[in-house]
Every structure is written in C-alpha cells, then in structure tokens.
Chain A
Amino acid sequence: MSTLEIRELTAEVAGKPILNGIDLTISSGEVHAVMGPNGAGKSTLSAVVMGKPGYKVTGGQVLLDGVDILKLPTWERAVAGLHLVMQYPTEVPGVMLDAVLGEALRDRGRADDVARLDSMLRSEAARINFDEKFLERALNVDLSGGEKKRNETLQLAVLKPKIVILDELDSGLDVDALRDCARRVMDATREDNLGALVITHYSKLLEELRPSRVHILVKGRIVESGGPELADVLERDGYAAFSSGVESDDVSGDYLAGL
C-alpha cells in the first residue's frame, strides 16, 4: 500500500506563482481526477511532482510513503515508484525503447525483468494494440499522437510504478487509442494496485478512466473535491461556477500578479 501526499504545494515558473497551495492525497488502487481549465496549473503540478527543470518549488511537501521526494532528483523519484505519462512525450532521436527501459529496470534492481524485457514489451504491446514495429523505432520519433500515448502506456505497464500521473492522456489521441490506453491503466489499478492521478480538462476521458475522486483545480488551487458526480456538475455548469469563488476569496497581490 502506497500513498502520495501533496501538502500545501506552491511553485512558480519564471518568477510567476502558478501553484498556490495544493493539497491532494492518493493511495494505491485509487483513481483521482484533477480537472481544470487551461492555465489552472495542471501541467505545472505534474512537472513539479516529477522535478522538471524550470519549475521552482516555493513551499510545501510531496510525500511518497512518507518520504519527501522534492529533495530527490527526478530519476530517484521514478525509482521510488512515481511515474509521469507526459502530455507531449519528447522525441529522443537514436535512443531505443528497450535501451531506456533496460537501464530503468536495472536502476530498480529488477534483473529478472531486464532479462525478459523483450517478451514483456511484446506482450504489453499486443495488449494495447501497439504495433510491434514501433518497438524498433527511436523514442517517440515518427510516431503519431496515438502511438506516442500507447508507447507511454506501454512503459507504464513495464515499469509498474506505485503512483502514476497521467497528464492530459487524451490530447492528440483518437478514440481507439484512448480506450486502449485508459483500459490498460484501469487494469493496472486492479492487477498491480496502481494509484492514478488523472489530469485533464475534459470530462470525456473520465468515461474510460473512472475516478473515485474528482478535484477541481482553478488558479493553482484545489477549489472543490468530490465523487465522480462532480465531473457531471462541471460538464453541465462549466469552470466559471468554480472560478468565481476563488477570486473573491483571494486578495493576495502576489497571487493576482500570477494570473
């Protein structure tokens, strides 16, 4: 049983506050959705938790099973059991998937999995309808949007993290690929007890990735949390209903400057 606990997290980019005190807790086997409009800080949240350069944490903690991972370099966060499925996976010319996953598994001390990596890749590829020929390509090079997300999902399945953050899994994805990827993530929550934090601005994704909790992120802060029905409210009323509350609550000059 693992728990990712985000406490009072604040962060800025290029001197601008983007996250203004995030509190979130997610445990193994759970699916939580973080929904918010463009510019709410959704991608910043995933970048900060994974330690992407260019983001400055100004306060708070991110605890994975009680250990503050903000003090760890990115690769150690991953080895500790955290994984990020990127919205726009980076192309890495000339670097092959099996080379990267081989190193990643070695760093996790999983020698047995290194030995059977090839068969793992093939069976996982089949499971999400990812054509085996793409396994021979350099990372994300010459892959369509859907193939990139299948590739991300494949890596998730092989690495078996404790907690995954899925940043806009649905962007650049057709319906079939979305279903394949979402179902694999849901399977992992049952089979491997994966905890999934699903970041999206669009409730359609949640028909496939069914969250037990929904959090609404507006202007760098969780303004509302609830059950899956909250996504339906959002679908009906839009973000405006939640945004207005924030502005009247918050009078900090710094905070407004960051908008």
Chain B
Amino acid sequence: MPVLTPDMVRSTGNSWSDVRSSALARASAAPFPTTDLEHWRYSRIDELDLARFVPTDTPSTITGGGSDAVVTHVPASAATADASLARLFPAADELELFAALNLAHMDVIVVSVPANKVVAEPIVVTHRLAGAGQAFFPRLIVEAGRNSEVTVVERFVSADDDVLLAVPALDVRADQAARVRYLGINELGTSSWLIGEQLSTGQRDSDTLLATVALGGDYARVSTAARLTGQGGNTRQVALYFAGGEQMHDFRTLQEHVSPRTTSDLLFKGAVQDTAKSVYTGLIKIHKDAKGSAAFQTNRNLTLSHGAWAESVPNLDIETNDVKCSHASTVGPIDEDQLFYLESRGVRPDVAQRLVVLGFFDEVLAQLPVGELATSLRAQVSRKLAIGDAS
C-alpha cells in the first residue's frame, strides 16, 4: 500500500525544513501497520489507502486564554517559522508511520505558559476540516512552565459527507508542579478518519488531565501515552466515547510510571449502538525505579444493540513490588435491574434506557475540565441515542 510520497508534499520546506525532510524520509521508510501487530489489532487500518489523500493546511481557529499564554500558530505552508521552536519536535528516526507523517506535514500550534502563570480562561483550538481527499496534520504542543496552570480544548469538526483524514498529534509538557488540563472533542462527520497520537510528560509534582469525548468519525483512533518522569507527578485520563451507525472508535492508552511516587488514574466509558464498534486497550507500565507509585485503570462499555461490538483489553507491566495497581473492565448491555427500577416508577422503557445511558456517562462528564462544555456534550450524546426520544 502506497504512503504519501515526497512529491506529494507541498513546497513547504521553508518552515523547519530539516525536521520535515527527515520526518518525510522516515515516513517513507516506516512500515505500514497491519492488524497482526498488537497495537493495531482489531483496528481498521487495512482499509486505509493513504494515496487517496493529499496533505493540506489545517484550518484552525484559536480563542480564549487572555494574555497570560503565548500562542504561536505556524501553518504547514508558512514560509518561515521560529527556529527556536524546533527544540519541541521529536527525532524522526524512531517514529512510527503516522507520527512521522504528522511531523513531516504538521501545522504547529504552540501554547506556552510562563512559570507561575495561571491562565484562567480556557484556550479553545478548533479545527474545521473540509474537503474530500484532504489530509490534515495538526500538532498541538502545550508547554506549561513551572507551577503554571492552563486548560486547552481541542475540537475536531467536519461535515458528514467529506471523506477526509486527520492525523493529529498532541504533545503536553508539564514542568515541575504545573497543572495542565486538556480536552479533545471529536465531532467529526461520519466519513472522516482520525488517527491521532497523544503524549504527555509530567515532571515532578505536576498534575495533568487528558480528557476525550469522541462522538464522530468513521474510524477514529487515538493512541495516548501519559508519562510520569518526575517524582510525585500525577496524571488522570478520562474518556467518553459513543459510536453509532457503522462508526468505530479505537483507543490505546499507556500509563507509564518512570519515577517514584507517581500516580495515574484512568476512566474510559464507551457505548456502541447499531452496528458500531469500539476497542479499548490499555497498559499500565511501572518501571523499576517507580517505587511507591499507584495506577488505576477502569474501562466500561455498554453494548446498546445486538449488532454492536466492543472489545476491552487491560494490561499490566510492573517491574517493582512496591506499587498499588488495579484495573477493571466490563462489556455488556444495560443493567436489567436498573431498567426495572426505573420502569417500576412508571418510566417508559425507552426513556429509562436513555436515562441509564446518560447516567452511565455522567461520571466522565462530571470530570471534564470545562463544565459548560459538559452540558452541551451531554445534549449531543442525548441526541445521538437511537432509543427513547424523551419529551
């Protein structure tokens, strides 16, 4: 299967041309993934033909944040870019295909928060993607200085008709005692593909929240690695995903404890209806030196119709004894006793189901970093539910 080739790249070599060209070389050399690989098992990667897509600038708008954060936006086609930002890019030689493709074609948004600054107002980055056959490669870097605080929301939006591809990258860097809250919202149309990579790195005593709400896409996959590289760091990951029709949501998570006394907590809750599918696979990895750490992982899935399918695969890889770890995973229909309880009060069965599903997701919605968004996202979930249109 062909990948995006060098001649398909626009003449954009001017911005960080060295970074882009080495990434492009890596992308050409990297093997195309197959479902034989554990990381891509159950995925729909074999349906993807990269040759059908042409890279283009990502139309992004950025609002909020006030004057306390420095936001830099460099589109892929920009002639020049700040060379000093090149320090924020990974080395290309070890990257997997999609990470390399992003680096080669990236539109870069850097949110930099100086030390000790608290950015009170959330920064909202919205990518409005459009155009059949277009491929988008946004890279959002959140650089939070010592003891700073920031909330960033990233929205992916497209129309239902456009067969397009988004390959976003997220890079969160929380310096010592920094507090970073991120919320990614997938509101893509039902023909869009998304293959995203997220990395967060937390230094000593930092606190990061990576939240996801996925409602859109044809096939939407996000792979997240939350690394704790400084003592006492904490990271939390929460996700709400709800696929209908023939959609598929695919999540791969890694909670990686490198340093002592680090804590991580993950709660992913999903639902599938119609003939939709979802996959969750999560790994807790605790390195030998990460003594006194605690890691928790919970994945719960509701299958709302017989044709829907959800897979949940939790894994542990622990190299020290001095840890507290737990994982839990469930896949199944709505609890019959809960439905009976509501129906015995006189609630119609379809409305009862709707209440139970929305209640199931409330645990995640309550933890989203921007409360007002939670209300509208709850309404979107409610509209998408094929059952019980409540009065």
Q: Which residues on A are within 8 Å of B, measured CB to CB? A: 50, 52-53, 73-75, 78-79, 83-84, 86, 89-95, 99-101, 103-104, 106-108, 138-139, 155, 159
Subset of 7 A-B contacts with CB under 8 Å: A52-B340, A74-B344, A75-B346, A92-B356, A94-B358, A103-B351, A155-B345
Given A94-B359, A94-B360, A94-B361: A73 in contact with B343 (beta carbons within 8 A): yes
Residue of B nearest to A101 (CB): B345
Choice from A53, A104, A108, A155 contacting B340 with Cβ under 8 Å: A53
Q: Is there a chain A Cβ closer than 8 Å to B41's Cβ?
A: no
CB distance from A101 to the nearest CB of B (A): 7
Task: Report B-chain residues with C-beta under 8 Å of the C-beta of A53.
Answer: 336, 340
Cβ of B343 and Cβ of A103 under 8 Å apart? no
B343 touches A78 (CB 8 A): yes
The reply to whether A92 and B341 form a contact with Cβ atoms under 8 Å apart is yes
B82 lies within 8 A of chain A by Cβ: no
A104 contact set on B, CB distance < 8 A: 345-347
A106 touches B363 (CB 8 A): no
Q: Could you tell me if B349 and A73 are in contact, using CB atoms closer than 8 angstroms?
A: yes
For B266-285 the 0/1 string (1 means CB < 8 A from A) is 00000000000000000000
Q: In the complex, what residue of chain B is closest to A99 when comparing beta carbons?
A: B355
Contacts of B335 in A (CB 8 A): 90
B34 interface residue per 8 A CB criterion: no
**Complex CA–CA separation, A104 to B391 (angstroms):** 12
Partner of A75, one of B336, B347, B355, B362: B347
B: contact size bracket: 20 to 34
A74 near B340 (CB under 8 angstroms)? yes
Chain B facing A: main interface SS: helix
Please tell me if the beta carbons of B341 and A94 are within 8 angstroms of each other in the complex. no
Q: Does B17 contact A (CB under 8 A)?
A: no
* A107 in contact with B341 (CB, 8 Å): no
Q: Are B355 and A100 in contact (CB under 8 A)?
A: yes
Q: B391 to A159, Cβ gap below 8 A?
A: no
By beta carbon, the residue of chain B nearest A81 is B346
Q: Which residue of B lies closest to A106 (CB)?
A: B391
Contacts of B348 in A (CB 8 A): 75, 103, 107
Q: Is the CB of B342 within 8 A of A92?
A: yes
Please name the residue on chain A nearest to B365 by beta carbon. A94
Closest Cβ of chain A to B271, distance in Å, is 13
Contact B341 A89 (CB under 8 A): yes
A84 to B337, CA, bound (A): 14
What's the least CB distance linking B126 to chain A, in Å? Answer: 28
Tell me the nearest residue of chain B to A52, going by C-beta: B340
Known A79-B346, A100-B347: A93·B360 in contact at CB below 8 Å: yes
Most interface-central of A73, A74, A78 (chain B CB within 10 A): A74
Is A86 a contact partner of B341 (Cβ separation < 8 A)? yes
Q: How far is the CA of A75 from the CA of B355 in the complex (A)?
A: 15
* In contact, A107 and B343 (Cβ under 8 angstroms): no
When chains A and B are docked, how far (Å) is the Cα of A103 from the Cα of B351? 8
Interface centre among B335, B336, B343, B360 (most CB of A within 10 A): B343
Contacts of A84 in B (CB 8 A): 344
Contacts of B344 in A (CB 8 A): 50, 52, 74-75, 78, 83-84, 86
Inter-chain CA distance A19–B349, complex, in Å, is 27
Q: Which A residues are in CB contact (< 8 Å) with B347?
A: 75, 100, 103-104, 107
Min CB distance B354 to A, Å, is 9
B359 touches A74 (CB 8 A): no
| In the complex, chain B residues whose CB is within 8 Å of the CB of A139 | 341
Tell me how far the C-beta of A149 lies from the nearest C-beta in chain B, rounded to whole angstroms.
14
7 closest residue pairs by CB, A with B:
A94-B359, A94-B362, A78-B346, A95-B359, A90-B341, A104-B346, A74-B343
Is there contact, CB below 8 Å, between B359 and A138?
yes
Residues of A within 8 A of B342 (CB): 92, 95, 100
